[in-house]
Structure 1
C-alpha cells in the first residue's frame, strides 16, 4: 500500500474501531455477548463485515472489534440505534471502563498485505487543526523511512459522531511497528505535536498472516490465532513450492536461467497461487477449526491440528516417493 492521507466523505466507506477492556474472568461471558452484538449488526443497512481481535499476549485484556459499513450515515444509524444501546447496557458489567471507539470515514481499501495497524485518535486543540494536519504530514515523511512501513491515512472528525482526528498507519510486522513506536524520531515528533493536540489514544490491530485469512462478508468474526495461521499456511505452501520446484524450477534450470532469477520467479508464482487459489481452498476446508466463532471446544482445536498434521505426513510420504 502506498502512503496516503485521506479525508472521508458521507458517501464513502466507514469503519468503527471499538476497544474494550474486559474484566479478568469475564472473557467467556464477553465472547457470548460480543456474538450477540455481531449478529445484531448484520441486520442494519450497509453492514459489510465484522473483525474481532483478541488481546496481545502479555498485554492488557483489551479486545478490539471492527465494524465496516458502506457509508458513514449507515454506520451512524447503527451506532445510535436502540438495539446497540440496549446491548451496551447489558454488557456494562463485563468491562473495566466504558468502551472506546474511533470512527474512520472514507479512506483507501486495506491492502491485502496489511498485517498490523495502529489506530490513534487525537483530541486536537481548537484552532490548531491546520497545524495538526501539517504535523501529521511531517510525521508521515519520517515514517516512510522506517522498514516495513506500508501506509498511513488521516481521518478528519465525523460530524455528529465524534470530534477526534484519527490516524491509522500500517507496518508489515509487529516488530517493525514497535521499532517505529519506540523510536527517538517518534518521541521527538510527539513532543512537537503536544502543541497541537491535548490527548491521544492508541489501539493495535494485527495478525501475522491476516491478508490470507479473510472469510467473506459477515463471516470474518475473528482472525485465527497465529499458530493456526502458521500451520495452515505451511499446509498450502509446502506442496506449492515442491510442485513448482519439480516443474517450473527444473524447466528454468534446463533453460540456463540464473538461480537467483529462477528463485524470484518461483516465489512470484507461489505467492500468487497461495493468495488466489490455495489459501482460499485451505480456509474453506479448515473453517471449522480456523474461525474462532466455530472452534469453541478443545476437541475441535485438537481435531483440526491432528488433521493438519496428518496432511503434513501424507504430503511428506507422497513427495518422498516422487523424488
Structure 2
C-alpha cells in the first residue's frame, strides 16, 4: 500500500502498539501484570482483542502488546481510563524506562507465515515538512519493495489529540531479511535524506506466526498459540485439503488439458481459501482447549491435544492411502 493511499484509513478500526523493556529477571512478574492489563481492557466497550509478543533475538527484554478496538473513540477511552493509569503505575517497577505506544487508526491484522517479522517505526516529523516526509516515505517504500523477503507496508498518519507521530509498518518473511534491510546501504542513504524531514525515529520489531488463522473470535486470549501448535494445526487442515484437491480438481483439470502450472495455481487458491474461511475456524474451535493459551495450562492438556492431532494425522494417512489404491 502506498503511503498516500493510507493517509485516510478507515475509521472503524483502532490499534495501539505498546512496547516495554522489562527488567532482567522480572519477565514472570511482567507477564502476570500484563495479564491483569489485558483483563482490564476486555471490560471496555469496543474491545476486540489483544496479542502479547515476547522479545525477538537481539531485543531480549523488549515485550510488545497490541490492543485492538472497534473505533478510535473506544480505544482512547481505554487509553485515558483511570484503571489503565493505575495499572501502569503499578507496573513501573518491572520496566526499564517508560513504555512507549503508537496508535494506528485503520488497517487490519495481516496473515503471516511462521517466521514473519513486523517492524513498527514511529517518526517525529518536523513541523511544516509533512508533504516532503510523505514523498520521502513513498520513495523509501518503493526502494524497500525491491529488497528480499519484503511482504508489504502501511503508513499511518498522526491521530489528533492522541499522538503526533507518523507510523510506518512493514513486514518481512524472516528476521534475517528484515535486519538486512534495516542495515542496508540503501536504507542508510534514505535515512540521511529523511533527516531533513523528521527529527527522530524509533524502531520496534514484532514476531508473529499464522496470526490471521489463529485470531480467536471471542477476544479472550492473550496471544496466539505457540508456534509448534500452530504448525501442527495448520498441517492438520492443510494435508486433507491438498489431498482432496489432488484427487478431484487436479484430476479434472488434467483431463481437460490444463497446464500443470495453472492447475497448481488454481489448487493453491482453493486450498488457501478453504483454510482461511472454512477449515481453520472449525479446527480452532474443535481444538480450543489445546490452542488457547489461557486454557492449556496443564502439561496433560498439551499432551492430550498433541495426541489428538497425531491420531488425526494417522487417520488421514490411512484414508487417503486407501483412496489412492
Deviations 1:276-295 (A, max 9, x none): 11111111122222222222
Distance 1:125 1:258, change over 3 A: closer
Aligned to 2:239: 238
Is the counterpart of residue 97 in structure 1 residue 103 in structure 2? no
Give the deviation of 1:236 after TM superposition: 0.8
Cα distance in 2, alignment partners of residues 59 and 279 from structure 1: 32
Give the deviation of 1:18 after TM superposition: 0.4
SS of the equivalent of 2:68 reads strand
Aligned to 1:19: 19
Aligned to 1:81: 81
Give the deviation of 1:8 after TM superposition: 5.2
SS of the equivalent of 1:98 reads coil
Q: Which 5+ residue runs of structure 1 have no aligned equivalent?
A: none
Aligned to 2:108: 109
Aligned to 1:226: 227
SS of the equivalent of 2:97 reads coil
8 Å contact 2:209–2:227 — kept in the other structure? yes
8 Å contact 1:119–1:167 — kept in the other structure? yes
Q: Give the TM-score, by structure 1 length.
A: 0.89
Give the deviation of 1:175 after TM superposition: 4.3
Distance 1:14 1:144, change over 3 A: same
Give the deviation of 1:12 after TM superposition: 4.5
Aligned to 1:306: 307
Cα distance in 2, alignment partners of residues 133 and 266 from structure 1: 40
Give the deviation of 1:82 after TM superposition: 0.6
Cα distance in 1, alignment partners of residues 316 and 279 from structure 2: 15
Cα distance in 1, alignment partners of residues 124 and 130 from structure 2: 10
Aligned to 2:186: 185
Deviations 1:68-95 (A, max 9, x none): 1222232222111110011111222222
How do 1:212-291 residues align onto structure 2 when only pairs under 5 Å count? 212-291=213-292
Give the deviation of 1:235 after TM superposition: 0.9
Give the deviation of 1:42 after TM superposition: 1.8
Cα distance in 2, alignment partners of residues 133 and 221 from structure 1: 35
Cα distance in 1, alignment partners of residues 176 and 276 from structure 2: 23
Deviations 1:103-149 (A, max 9, x none): 112x3334445854211112223443333222212212212333443
- RMSD of aligned alpha carbons: 2.4
8 Å contact 1:3–1:150 — kept in the other structure? no
SS of the equivalent of 1:28 reads helix
8 Å contact 1:122–1:199 — kept in the other structure? yes
- Which segment drifts farther, 229-238 or 180-189? 180-189
Give the deviation of 1:213 after TM superposition: 1.3
Cα distance in 1, alignment partners of residues 12 and 260 from structure 2: 47
Cα distance in 1, alignment partners of residues 43 and 249 from structure 2: 48
Give the deviation of 1:4 after TM superposition: 4.2
Cα distance in 2, alignment partners of residues 156 and 265 from structure 1: 38
Give the deviation of 1:67 after TM superposition: 1.1
Distance 1:256 1:130, change over 3 A: closer
Cα distance in 2, alignment partners of residues 294 and 27 from structure 1: 21
